[in-house]
């Protein structure tokens, strides 16, 4: 990686540095290779470490780099296309489902979710935690919120092992009338970061879904996807790609 001084560059230094680093990733590094440490990189390019961190964070956001626990900053593989489009009117956990259930508790939902569900802020709802794995690595963590009113026929002798399956079975007896989704950029919370093998605060894509039955929101989910490895798509083939990525550039180099 050659030396480039940035003092006379009119655009923000970190943005120009990001471009220089991006070119170097294509020409000088292999997928999975560890970058030099921040001190060496900052000295090589004649910038402050704060400027370097801004450039690295932007490259991580764009999916070019990954920050791995106990390893350092590595060159990321091409992003995987992950479909998050409407599921042909099927409930979560029904039919062919890419998610694995890892637990279920009864607890008050966050205020924003309680507002979506129309429940009281302190009302306990069934909260199912699920994880999505692709190519042997976790790419998303999900919390599915189901209010008691949506599953009134639950048995009273639930155990940790039977709780989630019972909630899903009862939910599937309802006629799903429709669903909608929204996506936004966020930062990984500590519990999601641990499940996704990321550092807290790492960039993620958050997909919020609402499921309708009997004229109301019967369930809601918040799915947290790794922004460094996922390219979210909606709909069928040729779907709209939500995230910017550099896959074509890397494959052509």
Query: What CATH number is associated with residue 70?
Result: 1.10.10.10
CATH number for the domain that contains residue 185:
3.40.1410.10
155 and 44, same structural domain?
A: no
Which pLDDT score, from 0 to 100, does residue 87 have?
Answer: 58
Q: Are residues 30 and 154 in the same domain?
A: no
pLDDT tens for each residue of 93-145: 987 778 999 999 999 999 999 999 999 999 999 999 999 988 788 889 999 99
User: Containing domain of residue 91, as a range?
Assistant: 80-233
Reported confidence tier of residue 240, pLDDT bands at 50, 70, 90: very low
Q: In this structure, is residue 178 part of a structural domain? A: yes
Q: Are residues 49 and 149 in the same domain?
A: no
Pairing of strands 240-241, 230-234: antiparallel
Domain boundary among 57, 75, 93: 75
97 and 205 together in one domain:
yes
Task: Indicate the range of 150-159, 160-169, 192-201 predicted with least confidence.
Answer: 192-201
C-beta of residue 226 within 8 angstroms of C-beta of residue 204: yes
pLDDT score recorded for residue 113: 95
| Same domain as 108, residue 88 | yes
Residue at 1 is within a domain:
no
Residues 18 and 94 in one domain: no
Residue 247 lies in a domain: no
16 or 242, which is more confident: 16
149 occurs within a structural domain: yes
The answer to whether residue 3 is domain-embedded is no
- 237: pLDDT strictly greater than 60: no
Predicted confidence at residue 249, as pLDDT, reads: 34
Work out the average pLDDT over 6-31. 81
Per the structure, the count of domains in the chain is 2
Q: Check residue 202 and give its pLDDT.
A: 82
* pLDDT at residue 152 greater than cutoff 90: yes
Cβ atoms within 10 Å, residue 175: 9
Is residue 96 located within the same domain as residue 184? Answer: yes
Residues 156 and 121 in one domain: yes
Task: Quickly state the pLDDT bin for 206 (edges 50, 70, 90).
Answer: very high
Q: 160 and 50 in one domain?
A: no
Residue with tokens 């709780």: 163
239 within domain boundaries: no
Long-range contacts of 129-133 (CB under 8 A, 24+ apart): 129/101, 129/102, 129/103, 129/104, 130/92, 130/93, 130/99, 130/100, 130/101, 130/102, 131/99, 131/100, 131/102, 131/195, 132/82, 132/98, 132/99, 132/100, 132/223, 133/100
With respect to residue 173, please indicate whether it lies within any of the assigned structural domains.
yes
* Residue 97 confidence (pLDDT): 77
Instruction: Locate 226 and state its tokens.
Output: 């790794």
**Overall average pLDDT of the 53-79 stretch:** 83
- Tell me the pLDDT band of 214, cut-offs 50, 70 and 90: very high
> What pLDDT score was predicted for residue 1?
56
Determine the pLDDT at residue 117: 96
Average pLDDT in the chain: 83
Q: Which residues pair with 65 in a beta bridge?
A: 75
pLDDT band at 193 (very low <50, low <70, confident <90, very high): confident
Same domain as 208, residue 84: yes
Q: So what's the pLDDT on residue 248?
A: 36
If asked whether residues 162 and 138 sit together in one domain, one would say yes
* 119-128: pLDDT as tens digits: 999 999 999 9
Residues 110, 183 within the same domain: yes
Is residue 245 one of the residues assigned to a domain?
A: no
Distance CA 82, CA 52 (A): 30
* Burial (CB count <10 Å: 0-12, 13-18, 19+), residue 26: middle
């Amino acid at each position: 990686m050659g030396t480039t001084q940035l003092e006379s560059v009119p655009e923000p230094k970190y943005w120009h540095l990001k471009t220089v680093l991006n070119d170097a990733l294509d020409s000088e590094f292999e997928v999975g290779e560890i970058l030099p440490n921040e001190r060496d990189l900052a000295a090589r390019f004649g910038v402050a470490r704060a400027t370097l961190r801004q450039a690295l964070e932007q490259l991580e956001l764009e999916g070019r780099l990954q920050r791995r626990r106990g390893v350092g900053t590595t060159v990321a593989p091409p992003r995987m296309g992950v479909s998050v489009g409407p599921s042909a009117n099927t409930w979560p956990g029904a039919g062919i489902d890419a998610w694995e259930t890892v637990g279920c508790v009864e607890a008050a939902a966050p205020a924003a979710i309680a507002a979506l569900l129309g429940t009281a802020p302190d009302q306990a709802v069934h909260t199912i935690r699920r994880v999505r794995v692709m190519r042997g690595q976790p790419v998303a963590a999900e919390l599915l919120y189901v209010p008691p009113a949506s599953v009134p026929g639950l048995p009273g002798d639930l155990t940790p092992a039977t709780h989630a399956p019972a909630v899903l079975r009862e939910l599937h007896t309802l006629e799903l009338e429709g669903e909608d989704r929204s996506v936004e950029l966020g930062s990984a919370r500590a519990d999601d970061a641990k499940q996704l093998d990321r550092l807290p605060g790492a960039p993620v894509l958050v997909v919020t879904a609402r499921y309708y039955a009997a004229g109301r929101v019967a369930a809601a989910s918040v799915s947290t996807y790794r922004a460094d490895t996922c390219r979210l798509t909606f709909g069928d083939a040729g779907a709209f790609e939500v995230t910017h990525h550099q896959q074509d550039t890397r494959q052509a180099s």
